[in-house]
A and B are shown apart, each in its own frame.
Chain A
Amino acid sequence: MFSITLTAAAREALRPDEVIFFEWHGIGVCCAHDGEFSARPVRRARLPRRARQLGDDPAFALPVAWMHLAGHAVTIDCHTWGRWRRFTTDLPCLGGTVR
């Protein structure tokens, strides 16, 4: 159901106690609505209670993001500049309502 792939850079940048956490941010446009994904590293201990793992990978999401992720093949990459890490995905810009 989920196909989450972490590139070598992402695996290397992810600390041992961290996982990738997907969020879904609803955005209202008058009387329409869409949403946007974001992915970031979170310490496993700080994950929200309702977060669930996506397959066997170190990736988690809340149910509302889970639903929009289902069926997507997602590749997670990471760009680092010194200590600063930026995790990116190849997910579409929008969740898919306004398309």
Chain B
Amino acid sequence: MKLRSIIIWTAVAVVGAVGWAVLALSRGENVNAIWLLAAALGSYAIAYRFYARFILRRVLGADARRATPAERLNNGIDYHPTDRRILFGHHFAAIAGAGPLVGPVLAAQMGYLPGTIWIVAGVIFAGAVQDMVILFFSMRRNGKSLGQMARDEIGPIGGAAALVAVFAIMIILLAVLALVVVGALARSPWGTFSIAMTIPIAFFMGFYLRKLRPGRVVETTVIGVGLLLLAIVAGGWVQESSWAETFTLSPSALSLWLIAYGFVAAVLPVWMLLAPRDYLSTFMKIGTIVLLAIGVAITMPVMRTTAFTDFAFNGKGPVFAGSLFPFVFIIIACGALSGFHSLISSGTTPKMIQKETQVRMIGYGSMLMESFVAVMAITAACILSPGLYFAMNSPAGVVGATVQTAAEAVSNMGFVITPEQLQAAAQAVQEQTLIARTGGAPTLAVGLSQIFSDFIGGPGLQAFWYHFAIMFEALFILTTVDAGTRVGRFMLQDTLGNVWKPIGRVSWWPGLVGTSAVVVAAWGYFLYQGVNDPLGGINQLFPLFGIANQLLAAVALTVATTLLIKSGRLKWAWVTGVPLAWDVAVTLTASYQKVFSADPGLGFFAQRNRFQAAIDQGQILAPAKTPEAMRQIVVNSTVDGILAAFFAILIIIVLLDAIRVWVRAIRSTEPLPSTEEPFVESKLVEPAGLIATREEKELMAASATEKG
């Protein structure tokens, strides 16, 4: 290592260390968010430079001389493997969903430090490792999907578990995300109108792209974004007009509209509605995140929450029940460790990558970016006053419906906010109320609007920025709702097609409509029960989603560990084995507590028993107000409890099945048969990282000269 490098990397390490020291040692005072950025960015840089390189070179043994599937499948004339910078953007856009925005906002109830530590440490040692290692192994197998690798390397049980996990996550995820949208749009004519307008805008884009200007994605998207901004402004006009009542919808009505929308979107041709929405939300997503990062760097907001709140230790938080371990690690999945990412790392990206050595930049680097999005989200939540945060994120059953009851309830939690301050906060963003706006989206929108209005437009534009943020989140989430319903439908068609052939045919309308209806009914059930659950819905469902997502991460890390062991890299198996052990511990502990805890606030069955006993005695327990609401809680708790137990059983089965394979591989005197594609020498000369090194530039110049 050269002296200049040593100096630079020492400086980076010092910046990160100072950031962490300030965060860790500040007690009883407000900390500037810039320290959080310093801690995160310094840690990312060190991890990328040293740990990711160690994994790439020593653990995986990435070989720049070996041709990737993109090069091997290249016919030499028509197709070139994708440029690493474009592929980085593609991979990042694919993994950065709504998850890293919602989870950190909810986890902020425990203070800024637990969530931040997990986001940064989790991504460095688990999430980015998972993404990079799975990308590498899939690339060596012609881009096989996670499910295929699980079937090949562990056995049919592992493969089936991966498939079941993906389907289960999809259903819970769709319900949770739709619930977030309901929380954001309920009784908000501005937001509802803006989001409703995205449907005709997407239709217009679909036809424009298909019929008028085929292939002009950027042009179409620019028009779409322009129309989208117009829709946000028009939402403000609608709120002041006689149409306001039409667009003021109750949570139940909104959930029914969403269910109907999900069904139609899943049935229509993909180019008509879904693909244009995907372009729109991708561009909006990247634009907003960049704007937020610039905003935080310029305005340097102060975090008004403390490092830890009491809820981190007593597990009695109103946003979600449970203590710091394991629930911070469950609630923040995307941004730290997300099983869903392994689906991108296997399948699409490995078929496009130019060089094996680029897996660090694309797999590890993209995940660090995703983690940075989560850091931005937790920052936006933590700059709000804790009083406002808890008034917004506690269920109506806890804070009531008026500013007076909310102020009193929040004061009882130990935080200070007056009814006037709550009213002023709602007026600043031109909403009727911010009380009990659970789900995380409104909180993030208020945080974003404060940051944005501090550097663009001042307080006069805060309402615009709030609705911009709501629209951005809802657009993002609705794209997931329609895409997820469609993907769920395909998975169901695939599976049922094995039993009865016609149902597997994509073009057979009865099968298409029937399977779409089943998927919509599945997530629609959880959405509707969540909306009408007196206990808040999102509080119950988000941990379930986290458990399911971490279950898929366990499957991915098990596949990675199995492949390391089977390929003779036993001494490096800890690289994925340690995050796997952590993930299993977290997921099983959370499942155990959710199933067996005697605390009715935490355990689903304890909650069920409490409310059932009250029903038997003819009593009504708060927050329920009617016997129907009591019965609703009993049903919801039972279903949620069964699901939590099911996920735990699934994870144990996968792990036991994998251990059997590990033991056989370790005991075997002969190397197990390799499932890798054979070595083919690469003819491509491309850099491994974003910026080519001097040696790489020389090699590229020599290669260009050779080709003439």
Are A and B genuine complex partners? Answer: yes
Binding site for B on A (CB under 8 A): 1, 23, 25-36, 38, 42, 46, 48-50, 52-53, 62-63, 66-68, 70-71, 86, 88, 92-99
List, in ascending order, chain B residues with CB within 8 A of A35's CB. 348
Closest B residue by C-beta to A46: B214
Q: Are B73 and A30 in touch, CB under 8 angstroms?
A: no
For the complex, give the distance between the alpha carbons of A37 and B341 in Å: 22
A selection of 20 A-B contacts at a CB cut-off of 8 Å is: A23-B271, A25-B278, A27-B274, A28-B281, A29-B340, A29-B487, A30-B484, A31-B96, A33-B95, A34-B483, A34-B487, A36-B490, A52-B77, A63-B80, A67-B352, A86-B507, A93-B490, A97-B343, A97-B347, A98-B491
List, in ascending order, chain A residues with CB within 8 A of B274's CB. 25, 27
Q: Are B341 and A63 in touch, CB under 8 angstroms?
A: no
List, in ascending order, chain A residues with CB within 8 A of B12's CB. none
Query: Other than the known A26-B275, A66-B79, A92-B494, what 4 A-B pairs have Cβ atoms closer than 8 Å?
Result: A23-B271, A28-B480, A88-B506, A96-B143
Q: Are A33 and B78 in touch, CB under 8 angstroms?
A: no
List, in ascending order, chain B residues with CB within 8 A of A27's CB. 270, 274-275, 278, 483, 486-487
Q: Are A29 and B351 in touch, CB under 8 angstroms?
A: no
Q: Are B347 and A30 in touch, CB under 8 angstroms?
A: no
- B338 contacts the other chain (CB 8 A): yes
Closest A residue by C-beta to B98: A30
Q: Are B73 and A29 in touch, CB under 8 angstroms?
A: no
Closest B residue by C-beta to A21: B214
Nearest CB on B from A92, distance (A) = 7
- B99 contacts the other chain (CB 8 A): yes
Interface residues of B in 78-133 (CB under 8 A from A): 78-80, 82, 93-100
List, in ascending order, chain A residues with CB within 8 A of B275's CB. 25-27
For the complex, give the distance between the alpha carbons of A80 and B343 in Å: 37
Nearest CB on A from B172, distance (A) = 11
Q: Are B78 and A97 in touch, CB under 8 angstroms?
A: no
For the complex, give the distance between the alpha carbons of A98 and B82 in Å: 21
Closest A residue by C-beta to B72: A70
Q: Chain B 142-175 against A: per-residue CB contact (8 Å), 1 yes, 0 no?
A: 0101011000000000000001001000100100
- B269 contacts the other chain (CB 8 A): yes
Q: Which of A23, A31, A62, A71 contacts B97 (CB 8 A)?
A: A31
Nearest CB on A from B207, distance (A) = 14
Q: Are A29 and B78 in touch, CB under 8 angstroms?
A: no
Q: Which of A1, A29, A93 contacts B480 (CB 8 A)?
A: A29
Nearest CB on B from A42, distance (A) = 7
For the complex, give the distance between the alpha carbons of A53 and B78 in Å: 8
Nearest CB on B from A36, distance (A) = 5
Consensus secondary structure, chain B interface: helix
Nearest CB on A from B256, distance (A) = 22
For the complex, give the distance between the alpha carbons of A30 and B545 in Å: 12
Q: Are B99 and A93 in touch, CB under 8 angstroms?
A: no
For the complex, give the distance between the alpha carbons of A48 and B271 in Å: 16
Q: Are B78 and A98 in touch, CB under 8 angstroms?
A: no
List, in ascending order, chain A residues with CB within 8 A of B347's CB. 34, 95-99
List, in ascending order, chain A residues with CB within 8 A of B177's CB. 30
Q: Are B340 and A93 in touch, CB under 8 angstroms?
A: no
- Chain B contributes a number of interface residues (CB within 8 A of A) equal to 59
Q: Are A32 and B282 in touch, CB under 8 angstroms?
A: no
Closest B residue by C-beta to A51: B215
Q: Chain B 259-288 against A: per-residue CB contact (8 Å), 1 yes, 0 no?
A: 000000000011100110010011000000
List, in ascending order, chain A residues with CB within 8 A of B79's CB. 52, 63, 66-67
Q: Are A29 and B483 in touch, CB under 8 angstroms?
A: yes
Nearest CB on A from B373, distance (A) = 10
List, in ascending order, chain A residues with CB within 8 A of B96's CB. 31
- B479 contacts the other chain (CB 8 A): yes
Q: Are B97 and A25 in touch, CB under 8 angstroms?
A: no
List, in ascending order, chain B residues with CB within 8 A of A50's CB. 215
List, in ascending order, chain B residues with CB within 8 A of A66's CB. 78-79
- 4 closest A-B pairs (Cβ-Cβ)? A97-B347, A48-B215, A33-B94, A30-B97
Q: Given A26-B275, A63-B80, A97-B346, does the pair A31, B163 have CB atoms closer than 8 Å?
A: no
- B636 contacts the other chain (CB 8 A): no
Q: Are A31 and B99 in touch, CB under 8 angstroms?
A: yes
Q: Chain B 358-397 against A: per-residue CB contact (8 Å), 1 yes, 0 no?
A: 0000000000001000000000000000000000000000
- B334 contacts the other chain (CB 8 A): yes
Closest B residue by C-beta to A63: B79
- B493 contacts the other chain (CB 8 A): yes
Nearest CB on B from A62, distance (A) = 8
Q: Are A30 and B344 in touch, CB under 8 angstroms?
A: no
List, in ascending order, chain B residues with CB within 8 A of A46's CB. 214
Q: Given A28-B282, A53-B78, does the pair A68, B351 have CB atoms closer than 8 Å?
A: yes
Q: Which of B100, B215, B479, B487 contacts A94 (CB 8 A)?
A: B487
For the complex, give the distance between the alpha carbons of A66 and B173 in Å: 31
**Of residues A32, A38, A42, A63, which shows the largest number of chain B Cβ atoms within 10 Å of its Cβ?**
A32
